[in-house]
Amino acid sequence: ETNRQSSESIISINHTLQYNHQSTIDRHNPHKKLYTYIQMSLVRTVRLRVPSCAARPGPAIGQALGPLGINMAEFCKQFNERSESMGYVKETPLSVILYALTDRSFTFDVKSPPTSYLLKKAAGMEKGPNSPNAERPAGFVTPEMVYEIAQVKIKDEGRWHLPLESVAKSVVGTARSMGIQVKESDEA
């Protein structure tokens, strides 16, 4: 009984062994799911950037999934359904971590859009500047916008334990590196 408990705790801690769709909620942290292990092994973890609700089998996805023997059409179908149910606007770029298994099946996690994308949308910019400059900012965002972006980003896996202030400081750092200045709206 003790050996069984220790093996279950190792499985729940090790993220690379999270395969099965049967999940339970960790009572200590409701954001973290504990997955049960089944008799498959991980072939590879693949990181993708896919537009929400608009994934299509094509060269970008095919080069990543083709060598693993994963059905691209099935991935696109599942991804489009999941991103639509999450409420994302069509064509919003989302980060995806896909876990390819030995039986050519897969599971995947969908993360929030990149911070740079959210900052550009908040600042009303189409694209970032060619050469960011602190003296001549390319755009402006308010602290309230930074707070909203931080609330979106903290929901990502691996950030649930961080204070919101730390995530907001990270957003401010990304904005600074993009040439976007954070200031109150009445100062504009």
* Per-residue pLDDT tens digits for 131-188: 777 678 888 899 999 999 999 999 888 888 899 999 999 999 999 988 888 888 765 4
Predicted pLDDT of residue 29: 57
Average pLDDT over residues 34-46: 69
Phi, psi of 103 (to 5 degrees): -90, 20
Confidence (pTM): 0.71
Chain centroid offset of residue 69 CA: 24
Phi, psi of 96 (to 5 degrees): -130, 135
Predicted pLDDT of residue 187: 55
Predicted pLDDT of residue 6: 37
The amino acid sitting at 102 is T
Average pLDDT over residues 31-47: 68
Predicted pLDDT of residue 138: 82
3-state SS class at 88: coil
Q: How far is CA 75 from CA 31, 70, 100, in A?
A: 24, 8, 11
Q: Are 86 and 156 in contact (CB under 8 A)?
A: no
Inform me whether the pLDDT recorded for 7 exceeds 60.
Answer: no
Show Cβ contacts of residue 36 under 8 Å, excluding neighbours closer than 6 positions: 11, 20, 22, 23
Count of alpha carbons within 13 Å of 142, Cβ hemisphere only?
8
Among 5-14, 120-129, 162-171, the least confident range: 5-14
Among 2-11, 37-46, 132-141, the least confident range: 2-11
For β-strands 106-110 and 93-101, DSSP reports them as antiparallel
Average pLDDT over residues 88-105: 89
Among 37-46, 56-65, 108-117, 150-159, the least confident range: 37-46
Q: Are 112 and 96 in contact (CB under 8 A)?
A: no
Average pLDDT over residues 49-72: 88
Going by C-alpha positions, the residue among 112, 129, 124, 122 that lies closest to residue 172 is 122
Predicted pLDDT of residue 163: 92
Q: Are 186 and 144 in contact (CB under 8 A)?
A: no
Which residue did the predictor score with more confidence, 138 or 122? 122
* pLDDT > 70 in the chain, percent: 77
Predicted pLDDT of residue 80: 93
